[in-house]
Amino acid sequence: MQDDNSPIVVIGGGPAGLMAAEVIAAAGQPVLVAEAKPSLGRKLLMAGKSGLNLTKSESRDVFDAAYAEAAPWLSPMLDAFGPDQVQDWARGLGVDLFTGTSGRVFPMAMKASPLLRAWSARLGSAGVEFRTRWRWAGWDESGALTFDTAQGRETITPAATVLALGGASWARLGSDGAWAGLLAARGVPLAPFAPANAALAVDWSRFMGPVLGTPIKGVAFRSGAYTSRGEGVIAAKGLEGSGIYAVSRGVREGHMLSIDLMPDVPLPEIAARLARPRGKTSLSNHLRKVLSLSPAKAALLNEFARPLPNMPEVLAATIKGLTVHHAGLRPIDEAISTAGGVPQAALNDHLMLRALPGVFCAGEMLDWEAPTGGYLLTGCLATGQAAGRGVLRHLGI
């Protein structure tokens, strides 16, 4: 049993850390949340700028499969705090939700800020203390946690610790991966970081200028075992968007990327349309007339398949599987999330580090990855709850 007033310290004020703090505070235990940035949940707020996708409403088999090889590890945590529980939790904060046609669940207000304000207020009412601009600097000789703050070095000896420090992308929002060196120095094995849900780097020709910033709709992306019908965007530095992010793991693993520009039309039908007489009409105009290719699709076709083949069957096959020539994924700091971090083998079943008893890990710093679409945030919340419960179990509470 915990027999003193030492707080349980949660390091990291993102969704996983705040969820761990909520679980621990609900058991009547003192909790201190230390956040390196001036405010909480900065990456959550950034995600909410384009619409906060909390979770996804679909069968659990389909939902769990999004976590790929990590699904067996995460499934018990998702049983305790999965899509249904996430929705109930958000409604308990006074946040009205709606489910889109794709099953994605959003707050009616779309933004993250109302949810984060309500959550922070509820945590404060439960006695959770917050320390912002407290950057974790590791442990001192006595094993106490040390923090670099505006007032100088601060030291705390906790009853237990939850690390919820994020991955290694979006350093300006707080997830810089610097914690990896601190854990490695204490004998914690780590999987190397890699970009996940990342954009593709493409060195466009000057001919792509008119379509930069244009969305790509009604296509299918494929790389290795990963496929997506999501949208893309022709960005200045390459291809981005949910459709690209969903297949970026295949690119990371060394597979080519291809685009089906007309996924709903069979190849023979495309070939038959292309075989229609075109007289003196240019090939580009012929494509526009018989295939109704959008300017963005036509530009991609010309960019990656120029000079276009004249044979209808060959051109149809190119349209159904346009190979994208690229320079790999954009840098890890630009990725929405990261793979790598603390592997399952380094933790017990309650997310406590085997090498550091009393220290638990949660959220994106764990070695799992998932596509965007509600899976990332649900995984962070579920592991945060599991870490909080692990702390209580460890302390005999």
Residue that the structure tokens 């069968």 belong to: 59
Which residue from 116, 110, 158, 139 is spatially nearest to 22, judged by alpha carbons? 116
Beta strand 129-132 pairing with 135-139? unpaired
2 assigned to some structural domain: no
Write down the pLDDT at residue 310. 87
- Helices 375-394 and 71-80, interaxial angle, to 10°? 80
Write down the pLDDT at residue 216. 97
24 assigned to some structural domain: yes
Cβ-Cβ contacts under 8 Å for 267 (sequence gap 6 or more): 316, 317, 320
Given a contact cutoff of 8 angstroms between Cβ atoms, the answer to whether 369 and 337 are in contact is yes
Q: Are residues 246 and 159 in the same domain?
A: no
Structural domain ending residue among the three candidates 296, 323, 350: 323
| The model's pTM | 0.94
What is the rounded average pLDDT of the residues 85-114? 96
CA atoms within 13 A on the CB side of 217: 4
Q: Are residues 17 and 151 in the same domain?
A: yes
Tokens of 136: 């974790």
Q: Are residues 70 and 150 in the same domain?
A: yes
- Helices 15-26 and 113-125, interaxial angle, to 10°? 30
Please determine, for residue 1, whether its predicted confidence score (pLDDT) is greater than 80. Answer: no
Given a contact cutoff of 8 angstroms between Cβ atoms, the answer to whether 154 and 135 are in contact is no
Between CA 244 and CA 326 the distance in angstroms is: 13
Give the three-class secondary structure for 302: helix
User: Which H or E run includes 194?
Assistant: strand 191-196
Give the three-class secondary structure for 360: strand
Q: Are residues 185 and 275 in the same domain?
A: no
Q: Are residues 178 and 136 in the same domain?
A: yes
90 assigned to some structural domain: yes
Tokens of 393: 């179990």
Please determine, for residue 265, whether its predicted confidence score (pLDDT) is greater than 90. Answer: yes
Residue that the structure tokens 């001036």 belong to: 38
Write down the pLDDT at residue 4. 61
The number of beta carbons lying within 10 Å of the beta carbon of residue 281 is 13
What total of structural domains would you count in the chain? Answer: 2
Please provide the average confidence, as pLDDT, over all residues in the chain.
95
The number of beta carbons lying within 10 Å of the beta carbon of residue 122 is 16
Give the three-class secondary structure for 127: coil
Q: Are residues 170 and 216 in the same domain?
A: no
Beta strand 31-35 pairing with 8-11? parallel
Positive or negative torsion for Cα 136, 139, 145, 148: negative
Per residue in 17-51, pLDDT (tens digit) is 999 999 999 999 999 999 999 999 999 999 878 88
What is the rounded average pLDDT of the residues 60-83? 96
Give the three-class secondary structure for 43: helix
Between CA 28 and CA 120 the distance in angstroms is: 17
Q: Are residues 133 and 220 in the same domain?
A: no
148 assigned to some structural domain: yes
328 assigned to some structural domain: no
Q: Is 128 left (phi over 0), alpha (psi -120 to 50) or beta?
A: beta
332 assigned to some structural domain: no
DSSP 8-state class, residue 210: G
Give the three-class secondary structure for 277: coil
Q: What percentage of the chain exceeds 90 in pLDDT? A: 93
Q: Are residues 213 and 275 in the same domain?
A: yes
Write down the pLDDT at residue 103. 94
Given a contact cutoff of 8 angstroms between Cβ atoms, the answer to whether 247 and 228 are in contact is yes
Q: Are residues 118 and 179 in the same domain?
A: yes
What is the rounded average pLDDT of the residues 357-380? 96
Between CA 88 and CA 289 the distance in angstroms is: 50
Which residue from 199, 180, 204 is spatially nearest to 191, judged by alpha carbons? 180
| Domain encompassing residue 234 | 200-323
Write down the pLDDT at residue 245. 96
Between CA 216 and CA 193 the distance in angstroms is: 29
pLDDT band of 71, cuts 50, 70, 90: very high
Structural domain ending residue among the three candidates 323, 356, 385: 323
Which residue from 117, 17, 129 is spatially nearest to 360, judged by alpha carbons? 17
- Here the CATH number for the domain that contains residue 47 is 3.50.50.60
Please determine, for residue 230, whether its predicted confidence score (pLDDT) is greater than 80. Answer: yes
Q: Are residues 306 and 204 in the same domain?
A: yes
Please determine, for residue 143, whether its predicted confidence score (pLDDT) is greater than 70. Answer: yes
* Residue 51: φ, ψ to 5°: 105, 115
106 assigned to some structural domain: yes
Please determine, for residue 300, whether its predicted confidence score (pLDDT) is greater than 60. Answer: yes
329 assigned to some structural domain: no
Q: Are residues 258 and 154 in the same domain?
A: no
Please determine, for residue 3, whether its predicted confidence score (pLDDT) is greater than 60. Answer: no
Q: Are residues 178 and 71 in the same domain?
A: yes
Given a contact cutoff of 8 angstroms between Cβ atoms, the answer to whether 44 and 20 are in contact is no
Write down the pLDDT at residue 118. 97
Give the three-class secondary structure for 50: coil
